[in-house]
Amino acid sequence: MEHQKLIILGSGPAGYTAAIYAGRAGLTPVVYEGLQPGGQLTTTTEVENFPGFPDGIDANDLMEQMRRQAERFGCEVRPSMAVSADLGVRPLRLGFDDGSEVTCDALIIATGASAKYLGLADEEKYRGQGVSACATCDGFFYRKKTVAVVGGGDTACEEASYLAGLAAKVYLIVRKPFLRATKVMQERVLTNPKIEVLFETNTEGLYGTNGVEGAHVVYRRGEADERRYDLPIDGFFLAIGHKPNSDLFRPWLTTDATGYIMTDGDSPRTDVAGVYAAGDVADPHYRQAVVAAASGAKAAMEAERYLATL
Ligand code: NDP
């Protein structure tokens, strides 16, 4: 069976930064791209808050540059996705969707988290043209415009408050008659004159010829009281939660209730020696490319130290 010193799962900012550091340390890492080459960032358009790009950079270009930088230092990038793992043996063992099996001495899990979507066909249709799951990433494009945020938790309230600082008007579309968010976040939303909360409202579709121009929504209080109408908006933001891509590793690693991998304090060390978690798969709070990149660097440095002890 093929054996590698260091395998990195995931090709977002965490995975590629880990690969750049590990490559420069002479560890010849192998990156498996996973389901979404380039990671979650590639679902957005322009990145304006990654340091070093004063004019912004196309998200795909940014990831392509990270990939090239990793390859320059000897990293091999493979297109497959891990489908099985055994972290209870030495060497560690992984299986991939192309049928291959590979063992490794150290592993960096940078598999990210996936934003949840409602499952509407229109979300796909308008992805990057008015539909976003990240206000911090895309809010800037909606200055003085009208947007809607879906969700009633802390993330939705936080995103709505953030967007209210930029947009002219923010609708918060909440399916229940109440918000689930913490009291302080609720108050922030309910007292903001730019935010209008639409309780007991669901989205059935989006419309627009040139990107999103509105949402088809339904207000429903029991069966008797149901009203469908069109809500004119320029942007539609999902904030209904994220799912960390950690299922494969849960038999060996401690996660929180949502599935985020728990690490040792500020370090990316997990419960298993030689296994590190970097980026959004271990970060329920920040979920930013630059933060993920930094944790990838830490994971590579830890892996280098660990491999030196073998
Ligand atoms: P949550 O799971 O807390 O909330 C998800 C929200 O989305 C709920 O209001 C839920 O509605 C709604 N929702 C889910 N599915 C659908 C759907 N299909 N259609 C419409 N609405 C839907 O996720 P968050 O991302 O908000 O928060 C995750 C965790 O992170 C929480 O523990 C939160 O406290 C924490 N967090 C903390 C922050 C902070 O402290 N600053 C900031 C952000 C998050 P319903 O209520 O009906 O289920």
Closest residue CA from atom 15 of ligand 1: 240
Q: Are the C-beta atoms of residues 18 and 300 closer than 8 Å to each other?
A: yes
Per residue of the chain (310 residues), what is the pLDDT tens digit?
999 999 999 999 999 999 999 999 999 999 999 988 999 888 777 788 899 999 999 999 999 999 999 999 999 999 999 999 999 999 999 999 999 999 999 999 999 999 899 999 999 999 989 999 989 889 999 999 999 999 999 889 999 999 999 999 999 999 999 999 999 999 999 999 999 999 999 999 999 999 999 999 999 987 788 999 999 999 999 999 889 999 999 999 999 999 999 999 999 999 999 999 999 999 988 888 999 999 999 999 999 999 999 9
Is beta strand 46-47 parallel, antiparallel or unpaired with respect to 57-58? antiparallel
Say how far apart CA 102 and CA 47 lie, in whole Å. Answer: 35
Say how far apart CA 166 and CA 176 lie, in whole Å. Answer: 26
Tell me, using a 6 A CB cutoff, whether residue 157 lines ligand 1.
Answer: no
Q: Are the C-beta atoms of residues 132 and 123 closer than 8 Å to each other?
A: no
Closest residue CA from atom 37 of ligand 1: 154
Enumerate the domain spans of the chain. Answer: 2-115+242-307, 121-238
CA angle 292, 167, 40 (to 5 degrees): 25
Looking at residue 95, its pLDDT comes to 98
| Choice from 149, 198, 240 to test ligand 1 binding pocket (greatest atom count within 8 A of CB) | 240
Q: How far is CA 253 from the centre of its chain?
A: 20
CA of 28 to the centre of ligand 1 (A): 40
In the numeric block, which tokens belong to residue 225? 């009281």
Tell me, using a 6 A CB cutoff, whether residue 201 lines ligand 1.
Answer: no
CA of 189 to the centre of ligand 1 (A): 14
Maximum separation of any 2 CA atoms in the chain, in Å: 69
Tell me, using a 6 A CB cutoff, whether residue 188 lines ligand 1.
Answer: no
Is beta strand 82-86 parallel, antiparallel or unpaired with respect to 113-115? unpaired
CA of 168 to the centre of ligand 1 (A): 24
Class of the 121-238 domain? alpha beta
Looking at residue 230, its pLDDT comes to 98
Tell me, using a 6 A CB cutoff, whether residue 20 lines ligand 1.
Answer: no
H or E element at residue 227: strand 225-232
CATH number for the 2-115+242-307 domain, one of 3.40.50.300, 3.50.50.60, 2.40.50.140, 1.10.101.10? 3.50.50.60
**Active-site positions?**
134, 137-138
CA angle 158, 230, 46 (to 5 degrees): 45
Is-same-fold flag (2-115+242-307; 121-238)? yes
* Per-position DSSP letters for 96-146, written without gaps between them: ETTS-EEEEEEEEE---EEE-----HHHHHTBTTTEES-HHHHGGGGTTSE
Using the atom order of ligand 1, give the atom closest to the CA of residue 242: 25
Q: Measuring CA to CA, which residue among 178, 173, 179 is closest to residue 214?
A: 173
Closest residue CA from atom 43 of ligand 1: 155
CA of 150 to the centre of ligand 1 (A): 10
Looking at residue 66, its pLDDT comes to 98
Q: Are the C-beta atoms of residues 280 and 244 closer than 8 Å to each other?
A: yes
Q: Measuring CA to CA, which residue among 59, 71, 80, 97 is closest to residue 16?
A: 71
- For 265: left if phi > 0, alpha if psi spans -120 to 50, otherwise beta; the answer is left
Looking at residue 190, its pLDDT comes to 98
Neighbours of 81 (CB within 10 A): 18
Say how far apart CA 261 and CA 264 lie, in whole Å. Answer: 10
Looking at residue 233, its pLDDT comes to 98
Using the atom order of ligand 1, give the atom closest to the CA of residue 284: 30
pTM value is: 0.79
Is beta strand 235-238 parallel, antiparallel or unpaired with respect to 169-173? unpaired
Tell me, using a 6 A CB cutoff, whether residue 198 lines ligand 1.
Answer: no
CA of 154 to the centre of ligand 1 (A): 6
